[in-house]
Amino acid sequence: MSAAAEHLDPDEDARESAQWRPLILAVLLLALVLRLISAVVVERHVHEAGRTFFVEGDANGYWHLGKAIAAGEDYAIHQPPRRVLRVPGFPLLLAGCIQSFGDNVFPARCVLAVVGVGCCWLTWLLGSRLVMRRVGFWAALFMAVHPLQVGNSVLILSENWFTFWMLASLLALVNLIDAPGRIMDQSLRFDAVMLGRSVLTGALIAAGVLVRPGFIPWLVVTFIAVLLLLKQSLRARFTLAAIMVLAFGTVMLPWAARNHSLTGHWVLTSLWSGPSLYDGLNPDADGSSDMQFFERHNVMATMTEYEMNAHYQSLALQFIQEHPGRTLSLAGHKLVRFLQPIPNSISAGWVVCVVCGAVGAAFLALCLVGMRSGLLDPVGLMLVLGPFLLFMVVHMVFVGSLRYRLPAEFPLAILAATGLRQMLPGRKRG
């Protein structure tokens, strides 16, 4: 993608790959060991606190839905039942864990530890593809030992599983855009490789959306990127972009059809965006999440799930119209919460604060150096910065938290790794 990502001859590329293989395997092993230790520490902590989950609200909901899938029961939660509250991507993973290991949270933490290792591996592949293997190695190493990533990866939350699909979709997009020698002519001659890459990109974006609905605007970004950046005729670019969207829709269709059968409406993701939006845009909002209003209002006693969602969307839009100044002020508070290096609700003392602050400051500094390095061209910068900017904007509207930034740090680590390479001795020999 960049000037630094030169194509080597096959023999030289194979030799270089063999040289890096033991190093990246060591990084992945380190990532696994740290995450398994984290799983043990978190499990012990929640048991001593008399709980089951570190983040009770969301994790309880995900686990309940996972158990419902595993038992073949109605995919619903709460009373009256909400059947379109959560997209099924993460509960499906938990259902697999429950079917394999029973109603036991610790094995699920270990599975998520392995998923976290997979995220480090995809970061290595993406960094190697965008720049060079050296950069991919440093990016993967940073994510392997990043304390917040190590800790977050074993929580029963969707961020880690979403990160895996997001990184896979970015890698698929790179392979689709940067495909030298694979040109579809004006007659749209069938090219199975290009069509397959387009289908894979759309399907992987859909997999990410089925875990985190906030990722859906990335489909628009990808569509535009395919239209503007492919080395194809205009007709071929439109065809490949349309096939990508079709693949996205095909993966989403079973869930949307199920929602239509239950609600009478085509719901592509979930019916919780309204309350989530109002959570961040209401007279008592402060940038953090506080869903107590939902129980106080008790609108589900008189409304359907679809009507409830539309009701809260309307209230949030009304708040924006009546309080534009307060809306902008809240966006600033949410931005601070999204960007801050220290966890938003911290109770582990000054040691954790210092470590997280130091890692966050170093990460930011390396990213700034990486932006000036020239190793990433505009397309590469779009791919590593795009998810971060997307989530930042989304959570300046909804609620802000460091937790929502963590997935975007994996592609950002490639930018930080280019900055590190600029600062290391002997970088010109790379």
Cα separation, 371 vs 209, whole angstroms: 29
Question: How many of the other CB atoms lie within 10 Å of CB of 258?
Answer: 15
- Specify the higher pLDDT residue, 233 or 245: 245
The encoded tokens of residue 314 equal: 């309307």
The encoded tokens of residue 401 equal: 């938290």
Cα separation, 140 vs 144, whole angstroms: 6
Is 136 within 8 Å of 417 (Cβ atoms)?
A: yes
Instruction: Give, as one character, the DSSP assignment of residue 178.
Output: S
Q: pLDDT confidence of 187, banded at 50, 70, 90?
A: very low
User: What is the tens place of the pLDDT at every residue in 62-71?
Assistant: 999 999 999 9
Q: pLDDT confidence of 88, banded at 50, 70, 90?
A: very high
User: Burial letters for 73-111: b for 16+ Cβ neighbours within 10 Å, e otherwise?
Assistant: eebbbeeeebbbbbbbbbbbbbbebbeeeeeebeebbbb
* DSSP per-residue codes, 213-228: GGGTHHHHHHHHHHHH
Q: What is the pLDDT of residue 181?
A: 45
In a 10 Å sphere around its CB, with 0-12 CB exposed, 13-18 middle and 19+ buried, how is residue 317 labelled? middle
Residue 347: pLDDT over 60: no
Is 117 within 8 Å of 145 (Cβ atoms)?
A: no
Q: What is the pLDDT of residue 160?
A: 96
Q: Phi-psi region for residue 424, left (φ > 0), alpha (ψ -120 to 50) or beta?
A: beta
Q: pLDDT confidence of 316, banded at 50, 70, 90?
A: very high
Residue 164: pLDDT over 60: yes
Q: What is the pLDDT of residue 5?
A: 45
Least confidently predicted of 17-31, 178-192, 398-412, 414-428: 178-192
Cα separation, 137 vs 30, whole angstroms: 13
Residue 184: pLDDT over 60: no
Q: What is the pLDDT of residue 182?
A: 47
Angle, vertex CA 188, rays to CA 184 and CA 189, nearest 5: 75
Cα separation, 303 vs 296, whole angstroms: 14
Question: Average pLDDT, stretch 193-212?
Answer: 95
User: What is the tens place of the pLDDT at every residue in 240-274?
Assistant: 999 999 999 999 999 999 999 999 999 999 999 99
Residue 236: pLDDT over 50: yes
Is 115 within 8 Å of 157 (Cβ atoms)?
A: no
Q: What is the pLDDT of residue 179?
A: 60
Mutual orientation of helices 409-423 and 350-373 as an angle, nearest 10°?
70
- pTM of the model as a whole: 0.93
The SS3 of residue 274 is helix
Residue 80: cis peptide before it, omega within 30 degrees of 0: yes
Q: Tell me which residue has tokens 């869930």.
A: 255
User: What is the tens place of the pLDDT at every residue in 379-423?
Assistant: 899 999 999 999 999 999 999 998 899 999 999 999 999 999 888
- Specify the higher pLDDT residue, 232 or 330: 330
The SS3 of residue 12 is helix
Residue 429: pLDDT over 60: no
User: What is the tens place of the pLDDT at every residue in 29-87?
Assistant: 999 999 999 999 999 999 998 888 988 888 999 999 999 999 999 999 988 899 999 99
Residue 2: pLDDT over 60: no
Q: What is the pLDDT of residue 1?
A: 54
User: What is the tens place of the pLDDT at every residue in 137-162?
Assistant: 999 999 999 999 999 999 999 999 99
Closest listed residue to residue 315, CA positions, set 286, 282, 276, 289: 282
The encoded tokens of residue 137 equal: 């190695």
Q: pLDDT confidence of 99, banded at 50, 70, 90?
A: very high
Least confidently predicted of 192-206, 269-283, 333-347, 373-387: 333-347
